Each structure stands twice: as C-alpha cells, then as structure tokens.
C-alpha cells in the first residue's frame, strides 16, 4: 500500500515544524490514520493479513521517512534564516563593561606578600580589637611607660566584668606576640593589616595600614635585618639604585633599634625613590628585645630575632605618586579609577611586582 498523493502533499506542504508535527499526529499519532490501519491488522483473517500487513508496514515506513525528510529540510531552512538575520558585526567596538578596580593599598599588600613569600615568609594575622597586654605590655611597654602616650590610642568601654579596657590596635606589632606564643621558632612572618590612632590631617588618618615583619631563629644578627630590608626595598621600588641607611633610634620592643631611611631624588618637582639627594624615613626596625622574647616563653639566650614595621599607605604613596593620604579612604570613584589597579594586574616577581 503506497501513500496516496494527498498524504504526501500534506507532509511536503507543512510550512513549519509545528504544522509538520500536526500532520505527524494526524497520521502516526495514537488515533492517527496510519495507526488505525496498523491496528486493523489484528482483526484480519490469516489470508488477508498475509496480503495486507506488509503493505501497511511499508506505508508506515514511507510516511515516517517522508516526515523525517521534511523535518530535516525545515530545520535547514530555519538555520539558513538565522544565519542570514542574526549577524554579529565583529568590527563594532566592545561595549564598555562595568569595571571595579583594586585599591592601591590592596595592590601594595599583595606586592609585599609576593616579595616576602619569595624570601620564605608567610602571612600572619591578628585581631584589630586587642587587649592592652598584646598591644603594649608584652611589647615591653608596661603601664605608665611613656611610650604608651606616644600613640594616640582609641580605648573601648570595658565590658561587664572586664577590669581593663581593650583598645583598637595602634600597630601591627601585637601580631609578633601572638605568633611567638603559638609557633615554635624558627619564625618568618609578615603581618599586614589595619591599625588605628586618634589622629587626622593630610598625612594621618584615624585608620591606616601597617605591615610588620618578624624573624626568630638561632644566631640572627643585625646583618640579617639589614640584608632583608635592602632586598625588600629594591624589590618593592623596582630599582637597584635604592640607597638605604639605618639610624639609631628607640622602640621599646627592640634593642638595638633603628629607623630606616631611603634616599630620594627630585624629578619634576616630585620625590622619587633612588639617588641620594635627600633621605626619608620609611621603616622602624630592630633586634627583638630579650624581654619580649621572654614574655612569649622563648629563652633569649637560645633565640634571637629581628622585627620591622612600616606604613603600607605611605609605601603606596611613595611608589605610585599620590600626595594626600585622606583620599585613600574617601571612596571617590574618580580617584579609584585613576589610581586603582585592574583585577588582572596580579603582582609577580617575574613580571615586576609593580604590575
């Protein structure tokens, strides 16, 4: 039994996939015309069945094949239509994507972590709300020590049952104590983070960022400190001509103590690190005071170490040429656009940490 022309015309004439499917249902669906013929085979007597069944099966195959062929043709047409109409002009400029930027402080902290990781330091952290023990006492600044008055400390209201007010940490040095307490030496850490002092003008903000360094081992000398700082400053400012000098100074938690200056020259009216036209202070440092080691349960006859601390914001200003610290924390989108870094400018030593 061959399909009659009307059936074949209906298939070939289906204008789209939906119309073709309607024809398919009409012919091959549960109560479709061809399906009805297939069903009738069951009630035929043996002779009729022998004669008719092959024809009916052939009819079903012919109709199925015709539908598949039409379907493929319709899908081809649809693709052609899409290719013709949905054209993308690759020569058009890319639409401007919304873009945030990495704050210079975050960028510089990443640069510092990268430089010190290469020297074998890991990154340590501590809380921003500190006890006076960690912020002062353990660092060899007992109560009534004049050094406590040097830092304009924010004190918190003591909580119920607390005998002593906690403070917003005034420096990252308490992380030295916390690290020595829980890590047996040798120790090599840096500790970047926020610190707080009651102070505000063009070069001071009540919140700013410091980074602390601490090395504890046997037979550590001032020479190790000097080499580490020189290596760090050259890597950070990305110049081999960085001149560094150490001046005797005083910090309660180091003995001896030194302030570290870098040489600068004036280029286009701006201070640029390198050369020796003048000196500016960038770091505090020294050999960890024996009393600080003892406060952390370390025997000063066995262990020595050096420490240093510096302002991250100031390092960023020096390296990237900003001159007002307050702008760092204003959140002005124009400033962030100008001084911010792209998220993909990840500092690497091989690529130059300055991105």
Binding site members for Mg(2+) = 255
Name the residue nearer to ligand DAH (CB basis): 24 or 171: 171
How far is Cα 59 from Cα 148, in angstroms, rounded to an integer? 101
Name the residue nearer to ligand DAH (CB basis): 14 or 215: 215
Q: CB within 8 A of 116, min separation 6: which ones?
A: 190, 213, 232
Q: Give the residues lining the site for ligand DAH (CB under 6 A).
A: 171, 173, 212, 251, 254, 284-286, 307-309
Name the residue nearer to ligand DAH (CB basis): 32 or 142: 142
Name the residue nearer to ligand DAH (CB basis): 192 or 340: 192
Name the residue nearer to ligand DAH (CB basis): 194 or 239: 194
Contact 219, 304 (CB under 8 A): yes
Which runs of consecutive H residues, i.e. helices, occur in 136-172? 146-150
DSSP state of 92: S
Least separation in angstroms between residue 193's CB and ligand DAH is 12
DSSP state of 292: H
CA angle 219, 246, 215 (to 5 degrees): 35
Least separation in angstroms between residue 161's CB and ligand DAH is 30
Least separation in angstroms between residue 350's CB and ligand DAH is 29
DSSP string, 226-281: HHHHHHHHHHHHT-TT--EEEEEEEETTEEEEEEEEEEEEEETTEEEESSSSEEEE
Least separation in angstroms between residue 337's CB and ligand DAH is 31
Least separation in angstroms between residue 235's CB and ligand DAH is 19
């Amino acid at each position: 039994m061959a399909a009659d022309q009307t059936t074949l015309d209906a298939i070939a004439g289906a204008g789209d996939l939906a119309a073709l499917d309607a024809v398919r249902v009409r012919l091959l669906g549960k109560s479709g015309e061809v399906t009805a013929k297939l069903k009738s085979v069951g009630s035929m007597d043996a002779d009729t069945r022998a004669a008719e069944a092959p024809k009916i099966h052939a009819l079903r195959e012919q109709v199925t094949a015709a539908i598949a062929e039409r379907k493929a043709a319709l899908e081809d047409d649809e693709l052609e239509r899409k290719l013709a109409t949905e054209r993308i002009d690759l020569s058009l400029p890319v639409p401007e994507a919304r873009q945030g930027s990495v704050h210079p402080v975050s960028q510089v902290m990443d640069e510092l972590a990268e430089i010190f990781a290469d020297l074998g330091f890991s990154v340590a952290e501590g809380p921003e709300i500190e006890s006076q023990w960690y912020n002062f006492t353990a660092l060899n600044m007992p109560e009534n020590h004049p050094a406590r008055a040097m830092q304009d400390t924010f004190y918190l209201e003591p909580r119920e049952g607390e005998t002593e007010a906690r403070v917003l940490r005034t420096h990252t040095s308490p992380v030295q104590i916390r690290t020595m307490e829980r890590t047996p030496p040798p120790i090599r850490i840096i500790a970047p983070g926020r610190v707080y002092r009651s102070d505000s003008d063009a070069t001071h903000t009540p919140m700013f960022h410091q980074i602390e360094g601490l090395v504890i081992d046997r037979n550590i000398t001032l020479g190790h400190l000097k080499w580490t700082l020189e290596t760090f400053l050259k890597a950070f400012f990305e110049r081999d001509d960085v001149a560094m000098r150490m001046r005797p100074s005083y910090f309660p938690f180091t003995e001896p103590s030194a302030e570290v200056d870098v040489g600068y020259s004036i280029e286009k009216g701006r201070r640029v690190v390198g050369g020796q036209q003048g000196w500016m202070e960038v770091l505090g440092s020294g050999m960890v005071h024996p009393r600080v080691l003892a406060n952390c349960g370390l025997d000063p006859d066995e262990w020595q170490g050096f420490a240093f601390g510096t302002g991250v914001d100031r390092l960023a200003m020096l390296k990237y040429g900003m001159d007002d610290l307050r702008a760092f924390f204003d959140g002005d989108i124009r400033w962030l656009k100008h001084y911010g870094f792209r998220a993909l400018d990840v500092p690497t030593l091989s690529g130059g940490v300055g991105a």
